[in-house]
Amino acid sequence: MEIPAAIRFDRLGQVFETGSGRVEALRNVSFEVARHEFLAVLGPSGCGKSTLLRMIAGLLEPTSGAVEVFGRRVTGPREDIGIVFQKPTLLPWATIEDNVVFPVRHKRGRVGSHDRDRAQELLRMVGLEGFGKRLPDELSGGMQQRVGIARALHMDPDILLMDEPFSALDALTREEMGFDLLRIFGERPKTVVFITHSVSEAALLADRVLVMTGRPGSVLTELPVPVARPRGRETIKDPAVTELAAHLRDLLLQRDAA
Amino acid sequence: MSLSMPDFSQPESTKGKRPDLRRILAAPGVAAILTILGTVALWELAARTLNIPSYLLPAPSSIFSTFPSIGAERWAGHVWATLRVALLGFGLAIAIAIPLAIALVRSPALNRTLYPLLVIVQSTPVVAIAPIIIVVLGAGDAPRIVITTLICFFPMVVSTATGLAATPPELIELSRSLRAPGFREITQIRLPFAVPYIFSALKISVTLAVIGAVVAEFCASDAGVGYFIQFSTSMFKLPQAWAGLFVLAAMSLALFQAVSWAQKLLFPWSLPRKR
């Protein structure tokens, strides 16, 4: 028997009933994400990219079609999925360490020393060793988003969903965060769905890029990133990456012009 | 994290220099105290030179001279009577308002049914219901506490509900994705996020609580600062009534300050950060 994909969208459609009428957010979306694959989803604003993530997480029911995670249809929220949001959305009253262990405290009501050890290990991994006792507003936006990543990884999810996680950061920090992600997932591979507006970010990070059309969102094309791992700072200058980025940009611009 | 008031007035140029007059004037509170002292001095001057009759506007000196003549024990008795009702009413209002706000946020059905009712209750002038409540609940502290609660619980409900609903939706999604028990969404996410909202309501409500206690004393009472003012005016002892008014104002200020301190002490993160 063939190994089921980590995530599978099957002719999925999503229609929202709003006060001003029906809005078709997604139409006939089908794609698969293999285990430990890094998929970047690229598309114009309002093409339903975030809606896709919410459906994988089981926070939203599709109007038609189905989402499967590890061969099983998603019917409600799943615990084996971590989410990194566009904004860090940390708890302002809790220390950085408490923020990282928050999923455990929230789920079980208490936190063990093992959970704290794991938080320390994750903070080290995201480059925030020694910041555990600080409060979120003592940290920069980039550092806060690293805490958000550590929080999403604390329960050791099989799948990580990232919803434009670096879009609120300045260009340099954003690039740094990209390199850090390459290193983090190089150490511990995860199945990642990464929503982004940035073509270079998609080309640098992903194994495959899914390009979506505008509303209603549907899959325009899927492109593999023909660059071997491990990748690093020099990958940005790799002709294969720059060519792919240029091609992706053309695809998006054509769609906008059409 | 500093517990002192943010200092907006410190001029940069005088920092680190020897204290001079400008610097003293710019220190927090000094301007306010000087303004109050100046107003009292002007008032005293006006009352003396213009020969204003004391039943119209007594001079501050004649108001302050009533403090010793009443005696500390009688003052303490009246202050305690008013304070007790204000604090019990305020406490009862908190005990009702916060669970009610949680219920309103958790249940859209309750929000649709109960909220209009609350608005109606709030729109009814409490001063007008006070005599009715006193007839229904009889003598004693009970009717006064109910009147106080009625006057100060509505701002708490509205503000707490607003705060509970203002939680970042991402954290609610995180909570749902973890399939955590629903009460923890309230205790670990929504309530802490509502703390600044709750405290701004508490600051308003604690001064309303003093008003509620006084309104209740006006209707039926034999003790309390409100009763003392009413009694003094009926005897044409206007300076004495003014003294009672000063005591009430001081009580309200002290309670307001106490709530502010409680927030600084218990939830320092909920205050705007000093940069």
Question: Is the domain of A153 the same as that of A165?
Answer: no
Spans of chain A, pLDDT less than 70: 1-2, 255-258
Dist. CA A162–CA A109, nearest whole Å: 26
The reply to whether residue B269 touches residue A93, judged by beta carbons under 8 angstroms, is: yes
Predicted confidence at residue B225, as pLDDT, reads 93
Question: Is the domain of A31 the same as that of A106?
Answer: no
Q: Which secondary structure element, helix H or strand E, spans residue A115, and what is its range?
A: helix A113-125
Q: Residue B236: how many CB atoms within 10 A of its CB?
A: 10
The answer to whether A212 and A28 have CB atoms below 8 angstroms apart is no
The C-alpha of A201 sits at a distance from chain B's nearest C-alpha, in angstroms, of 23
Cis-peptide into A224, omega within 30 deg: no
- Tell me if chain A has a CB within 8 Å of the CB of B170: yes
Dist. CA B169–CA B184, nearest whole Å: 15
In a domain, A56, yes or no: no
Q: Tokens representing B203?
A: 């600051």
The reply to whether residue A57 touches residue B177, judged by beta carbons under 8 angstroms, is: yes
Predicted confidence at residue B14, as pLDDT, reads 45
Question: Is the domain of A44 the same as that of A33?
Answer: yes
Question: Is the domain of A166 the same as that of A144?
Answer: no
Question: Is the domain of A173 the same as that of A250?
Answer: yes
Dist. CA B214–CA B241, nearest whole Å: 13
Q: Coil, helix or strand for B16?
A: coil
Question: Is the domain of A238 the same as that of A149?
Answer: no
Q: What is the ipTM of this complex?
A: 0.89
In a domain, A78, yes or no: no
Helical H segments across chain B, by residue range: 21-26, 30-49, 60-70, 72-106, 108-123, 126-137, 141-165, 169-177, 182-184, 191-219, 225-234, 238-266
Predicted confidence at residue B185, as pLDDT, reads 94
The reply to whether residue A93 touches residue B178, judged by beta carbons under 8 angstroms, is: no
Q: What is chain B's pLDDT, residue by residue, as a tens digit (275 residues)?
A: 444 455 554 444 444 556 677 888 788 788 889 999 999 999 999 988 988 888 888 999 989 988 888 888 999 999 999 999 999 999 999 999 999 999 999 988 988 998 888 888 888 888 888 889 988 998 788 999 999 999 999 999 999 999 999 999 999 999 999 999 989 999 999 999 999 999 999 999 999 999 999 999 988 888 999 999 999 999 988 999 999 999 999 999 999 999 999 999 999 988 886 54
Chain B residues with beta carbon closer than 8 angstroms to that of A89: 168, 170-171, 174
Predicted confidence at residue A152, as pLDDT, reads 94
Among candidates A76, A79, A85 on the partner chain, residue whose Cβ is nearest the Cβ of B178: A79
Nearest CA to B185 out of A112, A109, A149 is that of: A109
Check residue A89 and give left, alpha or beta (phi > 0: left; psi -120 to 50: alpha): left
Dist. CA B263–CA B195, nearest whole Å: 9
In a domain, A149, yes or no: yes
In a domain, A21, yes or no: yes
Q: Are strands A7-18 and A21-33 parallel, antiparallel or unpaired?
A: antiparallel
Q: Coil, helix or strand for A91?
A: coil
Q: Coil, helix or strand for B8?
A: coil
Dist. CA B49–CA B15, nearest whole Å: 43
Nearest CA to B22 out of B37, B31, B35, B39 is that of: B31
Nearest CA to B253 out of B105, B91, B32 is that of: B32
Question: Is the domain of A168 the same as that of A252?
Answer: yes
Question: Is the domain of A243 the same as that of A120?
Answer: no
Q: What are phi and psi of A160, to 5 degrees?
A: -120, 125
pLDDT tens figures, A113-147:
999 999 999 999 888 999 999 999 999 999 999 99
The reply to whether residue A77 touches residue B273, judged by beta carbons under 8 angstroms, is: no
- Tell me if chain A has a CB within 8 Å of the CB of B266: no
Dist. CA A225–CA A28, nearest whole Å: 24
CATH superfamily of B71-270: MetI-like (1.10.3720.10)
In a domain, A252, yes or no: yes
The C-alpha of A110 sits at a distance from chain B's nearest C-alpha, in angstroms, of 11
Task: Identify the domain boundary among A139, A157, A175.
Answer: A157
Predicted confidence at residue A256, as pLDDT, reads 61
Report the sign of the C-alpha dihedral through residues A42, A47, A50, A53, in that order.
negative
Q: Residue B136: how many CB atoms within 10 A of its CB?
A: 11
The C-alpha of B274 sits at a distance from chain A's nearest C-alpha, in angstroms, of 11
Predicted confidence at residue B71, as pLDDT, reads 86
Smallest CA–CA distance from B270 into chain A, residue: A93
CB burial readout B176-206, b (16+ within 10 A) else e: bbbebeeebbbebbbbbbbbbbbbbbbbbbb
Size (chain A), residues: 258
Please report how many Cα atoms fall inside a 13 Å half-sphere around the Cα of residue B92, on the Cβ side: 20
Amino acid at B4: S
Question: Is the domain of A152 the same as that of A163?
Answer: no
In a domain, A69, yes or no: no
In a domain, A15, yes or no: yes
Dist. CA B88–CA B77, nearest whole Å: 16
Question: Is the domain of A151 the same as that of A121?
Answer: yes
Task: Identify the domain boundary among A136, A157, A178.
Answer: A157
Dist. CA A2–CA A166, nearest whole Å: 36
Question: Is the domain of A176 the same as that of A109?
Answer: no
CA distances from A32 to A10, A24, A48, A71 (A): 9, 22, 17, 11
Question: Is the domain of A7 the same as that of A37?
Answer: yes
Domain that holds residue A151: 88-157
Dist. CA B137–CA A73, nearest whole Å: 61
Chain B residues with beta carbon closer than 8 angstroms to that of A87: 168, 170
The answer to whether A43 and A49 have CB atoms below 8 angstroms apart is yes
Dist. CA B88–CA B148, nearest whole Å: 8
Candidates A106, A154, A156: best to mutate against B (most CBs of B within 10 A) is A106
Chain A residues with beta carbon closer than 8 angstroms to that of B174: 83, 89, 103, 106
What is the count of structural domains for chain A? 2
- Tell me if chain B has a CB within 8 Å of the CB of A229: no
Smallest CA–CA distance from A77 into chain B, residue: B177
The answer to whether A150 and A128 have CB atoms below 8 angstroms apart is yes
**All structural domains of chain B with their residue ranges:** 20-49, 71-270
Dist. CA B197–CA B205, nearest whole Å: 12
DSSP-assigned letters across all residues of A193-247: EEEES-HHHHHHH-SEEEEE-SSSB-EEEEEE---PSS--GGGGG-HHHHHHHHH
Predicted confidence at residue A228, as pLDDT, reads 85
Dist. CA B87–CA B252, nearest whole Å: 11
Q: Coil, helix or strand for B65?
A: helix
Predicted confidence at residue B205, as pLDDT, reads 95
- Tell me if chain B has a CB within 8 Å of the CB of A167: no
CA B71 to chain CA centroid, Å, is 26
